[in-house]
Amino acid sequence: MSLSLDAPTQDAPSVADDGVWLECIACGGQFAPFDDVRFTCDDCDGLLEVRYADPPTFDDFAGEGVWRYAAALPFEEGVSLPEGHTPLHEVPRLKEDVGVNRLRVKHEGMNPTGSFKDRGMTVGVRVAAELGVDRLACASTGNTSAALAAYGARAGMETLVLLPAGKVAAGKVAQASLHDARILEVDGNFDTCLDIVQDLANRGEVYLLNSLNPFRLEGQKTIGFEILEEFRDDYGRFPDRIVLPVGNAGNTSALFKAFRELVAAGAMQPEEVPALTGVQAAGAAPMVEAVENGADEVRRWEEVETRATAIRIGNPVNAPKALPGIRETGGTAVAVDDEAITEAQRDLAREGVGVEPASAASVAGLRKLREQGVVDADEDVVCLTTGHLLKDPDAAYEAGGDPEPVGGSTEAVREHIGAE
């Protein structure tokens, strides 16, 4: 299966284990899935994908959460807390305000550690156990580290997380800390942290669980399956567009893979696939730059800055998987400034949906594209909100109203609120 939307299914090569193998998206090299630890192609260092001889249809899915989709995953079960089955919120006022036919918000902040990363870790940590590695590691803007710490703890494995010093939201560091990860605060940005973890992994010091690890993306595919099933149950059709925040572009790659597999299995038509629409913060927008320039490669931004620290990333390592996803599905990418992100955080909060800044980027991006006429008024849209409000309490305080000091008596409170 190439990265095109209508690529046919492949026969299992001799290296396959029970119809599952790893394949390089650059040179087509094929590898056994669980014999050795590898994160990229042995021959050309290209990105690897997990491939299946028998991709599933919707009829193969049963149960709830990520493991409902076991037929599309390399194992029947994983290290689970459990994860997935997140709400697809209706946001009627926001829908009217933005001006689209339908708008739903898939709130991935409702996963066990408060972000979509749990979907990747339930599979990734299971694979780590299969491979028999003993030290798990990631670079992180925060959420990956929280998820890895929790899933590593659950599996009884040692975890090491590298964070950009001073640039990770408080809730995320607190999680990594309490779940007992060893936390290294690196003097550098996320991209530097990832360079280091990759070096450590290549030297065999750690098992890498960033989204460069192809098995993580298998778990994250299930966001796509859930959205399609839930939307179809409610409206009898699939959404026209899915809008999501982009950092390393792992989710964009994972959703595209979910769609490709369903098309290969004959479970959906290529023209039914939602347009993947990526949103980045203006201060960290290398993917947007590449999409706008029609480039096949992304230029690494050395300097990045945004209040949405989760997506403060200048070198989206999954770009070679994600750019074809955006292109093949007829999607696009857009950059939004921090003020628009905070405003979108307030918009969602007014509907009762509490998200961290990076998550609100999806809504800010949709609003901008709607204003530009790139998104039509008759579209059915799903925005992905990737992390919970409590991940970044400081940003929530900044976006929200201030507490009002008041005396400790009913009279004082009555007077303060202007009671008659």
249 is in an annotated binding site: yes
Considering only 31-39, 58-66, 248-256, 398-406, which stretch makes contact with ligand F0G by CB under 6 A? 248-256
How many residues appear in the chain? Answer: 420
Instruction: Please tell me whether residue 212 adopts helix, strand or coil conformation.
Output: coil
Residue 246 contacts ligand F0G per CB under 6 A: yes
250 is in an annotated binding site: yes
Q: How far apart are CA 234 and CA 68, in angstroms?
A: 19
Residue 56 contacts ligand F0G per CB under 6 A: no
Measured from the CB atom, the residue of 127 and 317 that comes closer to ligand F0G is 317
Residue 280's CB: how many other CB atoms inside 10 A?
Answer: 29
- Phi then psi for residue 78, to 5 deg, are -140, -165
Query: Minimum distance between the CB of residue 417 and ligand F0G, rounded to whole angstroms?
Result: 36
DSSP structure string for 365-390: HHHHHHHTTSS-TT-EEEEEE-BBGG
Measured from the CB atom, the residue of 80 and 251 that comes closer to ligand F0G is 251
Residue 258 contacts ligand F0G per CB under 6 A: no
Residue 333 contacts ligand F0G per CB under 6 A: no
Q: Using CB under 6 A, which of 263, 358, 381, 399 touches ligand F0G?
A: 358
User: For the chain, give me the number of helices (H) and strands (E)?
Assistant: 13, 13
DSSP structure string for 280-328: EEGGG-HHHHHHHHT-SSPPPPS----S-GGG--S--TTHHHHHHHHHH
Residue 249 contacts ligand F0G per CB under 6 A: yes
408 is in an annotated binding site: no
Q: How far apart are CA 336 and CA 156, in angstroms?
A: 40
Site string for ligand F0G, 364-403 (x = CB under 6 A): ----------------------xx----------------
Instruction: Report 134-153 residues binding ligand F0G (CB under 6 A).
Output: 140-144
Site string for ligand F0G, 298-317 (x = CB under 6 A): ------------xx------
Q: Using CB under 6 A, which of 24, 359, 360, 375 touches ligand F0G?
A: 359
Residue 280 contacts ligand F0G per CB under 6 A: no
DSSP letter, residue 110: G
Least Cα distance to 10 among 162, 256, 20, 215 occurs for: 20
Residue 40 contacts ligand F0G per CB under 6 A: no
Is 65 within 8 Å of 84 (Cβ atoms)?
Answer: yes
Measured from the CB atom, the residue of 30 and 141 that comes closer to ligand F0G is 141
Q: How far apart are CA 403 and CA 179, in angstroms?
A: 31
Q: How many chain residues bind ligand F0G (CB under 6 A)? A: 22
Q: Which DSSP helix (H) or strand (E) runs through 124?
A: helix 117-131
Measured from the CB atom, the residue of 248 and 332 that comes closer to ligand F0G is 248
Q: Which DSSP helix (H) or strand (E) runs through 122?
A: helix 117-131
Considering only 23-31, 39-47, 98-106, 353-361, which stretch makes contact with ligand F0G by CB under 6 A? 353-361
Instruction: Report 196-215 residues binding ligand F0G (CB under 6 A).
Output: 211
Query: Minimum distance between the CB of residue 145 and ligand F0G, rounded to whole angstroms?
Result: 6
Q: How far apart are CA 308 and CA 244, in angstroms?
A: 14
Query: Minimum distance between the CB of residue 65 and ligand F0G, rounded to whole angstroms?
Result: 19
Residue 105 structure tokens: 């918000």
List the binding residues: 143, 247-251, 386
Instruction: Please give the residue ranges that form the binding site for ligand F0G (CB under 6 A).
Output: 115, 117, 140-144, 211, 245-251, 310-311, 356, 358-359, 386-387
Show binding-site residues for pyridoxal 5'-phosphate.
143, 247-251, 386
